[in-house]
Amino acid sequence: MKYWCILLVTMILPLTLSANDCSVTVGSMEISQSVPDKVSIGEEYVNNIELRAKTNVRKVQATVFLSPGMEYVKSTPPAQVDGDTLTWDYDQMSAGETQQIQLALRASSEGELTACATVSSIPVCCATTFAGKATLAVEKTGPATATVGQKVTYTITVKNTGSATARDVKLVDRIPEELAYSKTQDRKEIRHSLGNLQPGASKTFTLSLFAVARGNACNVVEISASNAEAVSDQACTDIRQLGAELVLQCRSVSFINKYSKNTLIIRNTGDATLTNVKATVNISDKLKVVKTSIPAEGYGSRSTWTFDEIKPGEVKNIDIVVISKHKGKHCIEASLSTAEGLKKSANCCTEWRGFAAILIEMIDTEDPLIVNEETTYIIKITNQGTADDHNVKIDVRFPQEITPISASGATKGTVEGKRVDFQAYPVFRPKQIIEFRVRAKGVSTGDARIRVFLTSELLKKPVPEEESTHVY
């Protein structure tokens, strides 16, 4: 609301060129003029006029009356011209404010040329009340990504950017389905009363929620006041699922003193990158690591591999080649951990066995023979392997040139015509040698081939061996 006190004063002040300049205070205004001392007929000259307000005034009007022999050329600002009367109007002037008028004139006759000026105004007294406006602003920030089970913290800043106090400010935060207030409470809305907020003031809050489901979670906050328009902002977080798979592949059966390859498979099955991934393998003391496809931190019974990160869908394969000198069931155990807290384990066991390796040799003691001359066929069998073989059995077959007479050896032999059958040798130990002998004689001339066939539990298909004897 404004209160005005108005005083209207009007005065006319005559001015002469002989005075050159003049000034006078007229009520709340001061007016002054300045002109040159002499000019020539037809010459233009400038009258500089200044208005100065002593107090706040309204409806200011300056007027200049020209005497005969003076012609108006122009002015800055332009004047309102009515014959020999020039006027300038100003809506208002503040205390101490000045206005300049440059009036260009021309002398048209000889003699004294006089310009008289007057100023009028309405003095005012102004009382001012400021009307402000409260304007709310809110900013919400949070992480761009998070994983299921992780705590997600948002920052909310509320500001009053206006010029008046925001009253009864309230905050409402709406929680999306991918987030939860806590692991035990399923609140979907959080409300806070912030009180009054002065112009330029701000308040900052943090809100911690838990990621409970995969998806793009947009958390919206709304700010309202009793005397300001409501505002809102949101922060969106991509909630991802962590996942890892650890598989250890090995052979069900391997043989001692032979290499056996095992494969450790690490797979990121989620949609978030796994970091600081550590895989550790603990190996039975009956096994020895020969080599790995990816260098390990330490060998022996414990080996470790560290990966800075494994992206979603990425797979790491580690081949581990081992060897053993010991029969039996030997196991490898693997474990996995990540910076995100995932833990996995796997194990795989291999039955390590020895193997039988049977060597059969046959020689004759006399060669060549003459008809009715005898010779002995010595059959030697060796287990060169590392495991037992069972039911080792040989059969010897003679051609028409030679006939078997008798048989002896590790087991009983039976002669039937041109064939000798030995009973099975029940348990054939590693590095053991067994021997069989067959006495025979030449019965007809020719180049004879004596054949022996060996079978066992290991060798299901007969293994042949042959010896030549020439009969004359």
Region 347-357: what's the mean pLDDT?
Answer: 92
pLDDT digits (tens, 9 = 90+) for 403-424: 999 999 999 999 999 999 999 9
Q: Across residues 42-48, what is the average pLDDT?
A: 95
In angstroms, rounded to a whole number, what is the distance separating the alpha carbons of residues 281 and 325?
A: 20
**Residues 118 and 144 reside in one and the same domain:** no
Average pLDDT over residues 228-234: 97
Question: Does the residue 344 lie in any domain?
Answer: yes
pLDDT score for 301: 85
Residue 188's pLDDT is: 87
Asked whether residue 2 is assigned to any structural domain, the reply reads no
Q: How large is the average pLDDT for residues 391-403?
A: 97
Q: What is the pLDDT of residue 18?
A: 41
pLDDT digits (tens, 9 = 90+) for 54-87: 999 999 999 999 999 999 999 999 999 999 999 9
**Rg of the chain over all Cα atoms, to the nearest angstrom:** 59
Q: Residue 356: which pLDDT band, with cuts at 50, 70 and 90?
A: confident
Confidence of residue 436 (pLDDT cuts 50, 70, 90): very high
Average pLDDT over residues 265-280: 95
229/173 same-domain check: yes
Bridge partners for 466 per DSSP: 451
Element (H, E) at 96: none
pLDDT of residue 2: 29
Compute φ and ψ for 17, nearest 5 degrees.
Answer: -65, -30
384's torsion region: left (phi>0), alpha (psi -120 to 50) or beta? alpha
Tell me, yes or no, whether 287 lies in a domain. yes
Q: Are residues 232 and 249 in the same domain?
A: no
Whether 11 has a pLDDT exceeding 70, the answer reads no
Tell whether 4 is covered by a domain. no
CATH number of domain containing 109: 2.60.40.1170
Is residue 130 one of the residues assigned to a domain? Answer: no
Query: CA angle at residue 299 from 298 to 304, to 5 degrees?
Result: 50
User: Are 215 and 250 members of one domain?
Assistant: no
Annotate 153-196 with three-state secondary structure.
Answer: EEEEEEEECCCCCEEEEEEEEECCCCEECCCCCCCCEEEEEEEE
Does residue 183 belong to any structural domain of this protein? yes
pLDDT tens digits for range 91-113: 999 999 999 999 999 999 999 99
More confident site: 20 or 321 = 321
Residue 217 has pLDDT above 60, yes or no: yes
Residue 131: inside a domain: no
The CATH number of residue 436's host domain is 2.60.40.10
Residues 163, 116 within the same domain: no
Type and span of the H or E element at 148:
none
* Residue closest to 104 by CA, chosen among 41, 35, 50, 18: 35
- What average pLDDT does range 260-270 have in this prediction? 96
Do 176 and 101 belong to one domain?
no
Strands (E), 27-111: 29-34, 44-53, 57-66, 70-76, 80-82, 85-93, 98-107
CA distance 355 to 80: 127
Based on the domain organization, do 338 and 283 belong to the same domain? yes
- State whether 363 and 464 are in the same domain: yes
Residue pLDDT, tens place only, 114-148? 999 999 999 998 888 889 999 999 999 999 999 99
Domain interval for residue 74: 9-123
Q: Are 13 and 98 within one domain?
A: yes
Q: Which residues in 271-418 belong to E strands, given as ranges?
A: 274-283, 288-292, 302-310, 315-323, 328-337, 343-353, 358-364, 374-383, 389-397, 402-409, 413-416
Q: State mean pLDDT over 324-338.
A: 95
Percent of the chain whose pLDDT exceeds 70:
96
Q: Give the chain's mean pLDDT.
A: 92
In contact, 178 and 213? CB cutoff 8 Å: yes
pTM: 0.57
What pLDDT score was predicted for residue 13? 35
**CA dihedral for 173, 174, 177, 180, sign (positive or negative):** positive
Question: 268 or 18, which is more confident?
Answer: 268
Q: Are residues 446 and 387 in the same domain?
A: yes
**For the chain, what is the domain count?**
4
Residue type, 463: V
Q: What is the pLDDT of residue 127?
A: 86
Three-state secondary structure readout of 246-270: EEEECCCEEECCCCEEEEEEEEECC
Q: What's residue 361's pLDDT?
A: 96
**Where do we find the tokens 């580690």?**
318
Please give the backbone phi and psi of residue 18, each rounded to the nearest 5 degrees, phi first. Answer: -65, -25
Structure tokens at 177: 């389905």
Domain endpoint, select from 188, 219, 240: 240
Cα separation, 196 vs 249, in Å, equals 67
Alpha helices, DSSP H, located in 324-439: none
∠ CA 458-461-467, rounded to 5° = 105
Q: Residue 19: is its pLDDT beyond 80?
A: no
Q: Residue 261 above 80 pLDDT?
A: yes
Name beta bridge partners: 421: 395, 414
- The answer on 378 and 438 residing in a single domain is yes
Query: How much is the pLDDT for 186?
Result: 75
Residue 179 has a pLDDT of 94
Which pLDDT value is given to residue 101?
97
329 and 350 in contact (C-beta within 8 Å)? yes
Q: Are residues 171 and 266 in the same domain?
A: no
Of 89, 123, 157, which marks where a domain is finished?
Answer: 123
Among residues 93, 123, 153, the one where a domain terminates is 123
Confidence of residue 3 (pLDDT cuts 50, 70, 90): very low
Q: Which amino acid is at 407?
A: A
Q: How would you label 319-332 residue by residue, b for 16+ Cβ within 10 Å and e otherwise?
A: ebebbbeeeeebeb
Residue 17 lies in a domain: yes
Quick one: pLDDT at residue 15?
A: 35
Q: Show Cβ contacts of residue 378 under 8 Å, excluding neighbours closer than 6 positions.
A: 362, 363, 364, 365, 435, 436, 437
Segment 291-306, tens digit of pLDDT: 999 999 877 789 999 9
pLDDT of residue 126: 85
- What whole-number distance in Å separates Cα of residue 459 and Cα of residue 461? 5
